[in-house]
Structure 1
Amino acid sequence: MPSESQRPSRENRVRVRALFDFAAALDRYIPCKEAGLDFRRGDIIHIVSQDDPYWWQARHEGDKQMRAGLIPSRMLQEKRIAYERAHSANNNSDQQENEDFDRQEIVTYEEVARLMPYPAVPRPIVLIGPPGVGRNELKRRLIALDPDKFRTTIPYTSRLPKPGEADGVDYHFLDRQQMERDIDDGLFVEFGEYKGNLYGTAN
């Protein structure tokens, strides 16, 4: 483990999301249990060094502590999982099921990138799901929770306003020819047609 004074001047910029739980105290192969870094599935981990093929040096993303801990490398963890699968297959009589299980992809870490916030550039959040799952309710709650951080887009449409609808509040109303020109010019993130009218979200 690097000491405070001997830390490398340039660290890896690799960050991963853990896809399994790890407790150093329960790992029988870790070189030093006290030097291990515990994590849970879903934690974001900053990899400080990948010099050792079996044990990486890492710390939790955002952790102010400068000292890194040991975590199993991707290769080591994949070998462990493959061994466990093979051992499980030998104890199971259903050969077809074992073969299907062995073909499953082994996932241990998912590489992620840190996105720096830019106050002048909003970051989109897309809520996707079938009708009735509560997308509109979730959107309403997010906006109510922090209206300075969360806002909703105002879609564009080529249809005529309905009674009570205001331009720029419910929709941006454009004639079809103008909207088609804007679509051709690449001004829309997404668009589609419903019951003869165009709908879309502008850049």
Structure 2
Amino acid sequence: MPLLLFSQVYDRLQKYRAQRPAPLLDSTQGLAQDLAKELHGEVASPETTELLYLLSKPHVQALLSVHDMVSQKEFDPRLPPLPPLPDYIEKEEDSIKIVRLVKNQEPLAKSEGAVTFKVIPGTKEEPDTADNKIFVRALFDYDPQADPAIPCKDAGLEFWKGDVLQIVSQEDDTWWQARRHSDANLRAGLIPSRQLQERRVTLQRPAVLFHPLRELKVFGAGLRKSFRLSRKESTSQRMRQKMDERHASIHLRIYQEVLPYRRKPEEPYRLVLLTGPNGVGVTELKRRLLLSDPEHFAVTVPYTTREQKKHEREGVEYHFVSKHSFVKDILNHKFLDYGEYKGNYYGMSLDSVRRAVAESKVCLLDVKPHVIAALYTSEFKPYVVFVKPPSIERLRLSRRKAKVLSSQNEQTPSKIFTEEDFQDMITSSQAMENKYGYLFEKLIINDDLATAFTELRDELTKIETEIHWIPNTWAHV
């Protein structure tokens, strides 16, 4: 029987649903209270007594209350007022906060349509010790809004190549939780795990990552001090380049685990490696740094098999050795880089780097990118600076009258940059950055030489005096 009555009530409601009837009053409880007061002042009669009895019944009061709530559309529960916020709130305080949920400027209970709740990773207070914190340097850019695989785009953490991230959780094999170091926002977000990103890169396999670098025909002045120039490659150099290419294709760089570091007074300065495409101005930047403070900066002395000139001094311009001795050192892997020019050998040895670092000065080297790996050790802690050319439009403006030494295959002693040189510089720069970018700690765009020099000098001052980040493997040797 009750089920039948309920069904009849439901049918009656459906009948009047389309008519959308409006209530005559929105406060029948108030009207009932006013009526009860007036009846108490009247002369008692059986009708008055019965009406007062009915108005006092809980069932009638509940019916009137429901009527008023429906007529006023107060479907949300009546919560106590929100307490005022304190003047000071601890950022990392674990607490429960009462909030009001709204959608389109309306309370959530009054909103229409579907409502989706998203769970955002929160912060977790941990003991402030270095042992339980993991920091990584991102070696790629990531935008969660452009990632179709992320479970919730709003829960993702956007970061850029070079950002230092603190890993909060690695419990999930696919999505880690992390926050940007020194970010005012302590909220953790989702980032791709190392395994996930490695799978993505392996499937994409951009062809430019595995193409050998194109050698430029034009090289800058400074043949004596630098071997970043076109030359006849020896068999060992070609083999080393092939090994580097295979190594790059097997080991994908996603995150580099790092830790904070500040040089102690008794420690040697970090080795500074400058690299970039030929013609971009690496050698000139090194020369300006050396001239700006010869007591603070130093360079290595290269080796050569050519004859010593009258004005040259042994161990100053070059170390002069015989061809037999030079070839022997090549076979013993003592040279970081070497080449042949006009029948003479030129090279930079690992011992010469150690001697320069031992002088308690900042040793400056301009090298080809493939040399960096041999120096990327805890012994030297190299700070690698990649000097990048500006856009080709800016190259045409800033270097339209600049001259460089011509290569050995050309007849003229000097030449002006050509359009092909600019294209080669841009192409080579992109290839270097794609293949060796994980080693670059600083990127400088050399649009204006004076500006680039100031930026480089300021950065070197920072790493000498301030806390910065180094690979954690350098501290565990």
Q: Tell me the TM-score range normalised by the shorter chain.
A: 0.5 to 0.7
Match of 2:168 among 36, 44, 48: 48
The answer as to whether partners of 2:136 and 2:258 remain within 8 angstroms in 1 is: no
Secondary structure of the equivalent of 1:140?
A: helix
Secondary structure of the equivalent of 1:125?
A: strand
- Does residue 189 of the first structure (1) align with residue 336 of the second (2)? yes
Aligned partner of 2:417 in structure 1 is none
- Offset from partner CA, 1:17-64 (integer Å, 9 cap, x none): 3423468xxx992566xxx65533442323332224565322335x38
The answer as to whether partners of 2:140 and 2:254 remain within 8 angstroms in 1 is: yes
Aligned partner of 1:180 in structure 2 is 327
- Does residue 20 of the first structure (1) align with residue 167 of the second (2)? no
Report the Cα distance in structure 1 between the residues aligned to 2:128 and 2:136, rounded to whole angstroms.
16
The answer as to whether partners of 2:123 and 2:186 remain within 8 angstroms in 1 is: yes
The answer as to whether partners of 1:55 and 1:70 remain within 8 angstroms in 2 is: no
- Does residue 72 of the first structure (1) align with residue 191 of the second (2)? yes
The answer as to whether partners of 2:137 and 2:162 remain within 8 angstroms in 1 is: no
Report the Cα distance in structure 1 between the residues aligned to 2:143 and 2:292, rounded to whole angstroms.
32
Match of 2:308 among 137, 148, 161: 161
Secondary structure of the equivalent of 2:345?
A: strand
Report the Cα distance in structure 2 between the residues aligned to 1:145 and 1:18, rounded to whole angstroms.
35
The answer as to whether partners of 1:12 and 1:49 remain within 8 angstroms in 2 is: no
User: What is the identity, as a one-letter code, of the residue corresponding to 2:152?
Assistant: Y
Equivalent positions of 1:86-125 (< 5 A) are: 104-105=204-205, 110-114=254-258, 119-120=267-268, 122-123=270-271, 125=273
Percent identity between the two aligned chains: 33
The answer as to whether partners of 1:48 and 1:68 remain within 8 angstroms in 2 is: no
Superposition RMSD on alpha carbons, in Å?
Answer: 4.3
Report the Cα distance in structure 2 between the residues aligned to 1:110 and 1:162, rounded to whole angstroms.
50
The answer as to whether partners of 2:157 and 2:191 remain within 8 angstroms in 1 is: no
The answer as to whether partners of 1:47 and 1:59 remain within 8 angstroms in 2 is: yes
User: What is the identity, as a one-letter code, of the residue corresponding to 1:135?
Assistant: V
TM-superposed CA distance for 1:202, in Å, is 0.9
Report the Cα distance in structure 2 between the residues aligned to 1:104 and 1:60, rounded to whole angstroms.
27
Q: 1:104 to 1:56 in 2, by over 3 A?
A: closer
User: What is the identity, as a one-letter code, of the residue corresponding to 1:69?
Assistant: A
TM-superposed CA distance for 1:176, in Å, is 2.3
Aligned partner of 2:180 in structure 1 is 60
User: What is the identity, as a one-letter code, of the residue corresponding to 1:189?
Assistant: L
User: What is the identity, as a one-letter code, of the residue corresponding to 1:164?
Assistant: H
Secondary structure of the equivalent of 2:298?
A: coil
- Offset from partner CA, 1:157-179 (integer Å, 9 cap, x none): 01112343222222111222332
Report the Cα distance in structure 2 between the residues aligned to 1:65 and 1:183, rounded to whole angstroms.
52
Report the Cα distance in structure 2 between the residues aligned to 1:104 and 1:123, rounded to whole angstroms.
35
Report the Cα distance in structure 2 between the residues aligned to 1:13 and 1:41, rounded to whole angstroms.
14
Q: 1:6 to 1:193 in 2, by over 3 A?
A: closer
Aligned partner of 1:3 in structure 2 is 124
Secondary structure of the equivalent of 1:160?
A: coil
The answer as to whether partners of 2:178 and 2:190 remain within 8 angstroms in 1 is: yes
Q: 1:146 to 1:104 in 2, by over 3 A?
A: farther
Q: 1:30 to 1:21 in 2, by over 3 A?
A: closer
**Structure showing greater Rg:** 2
Q: 1:164 to 1:14 in 2, by over 3 A?
A: same
Aligned positions, number: 172
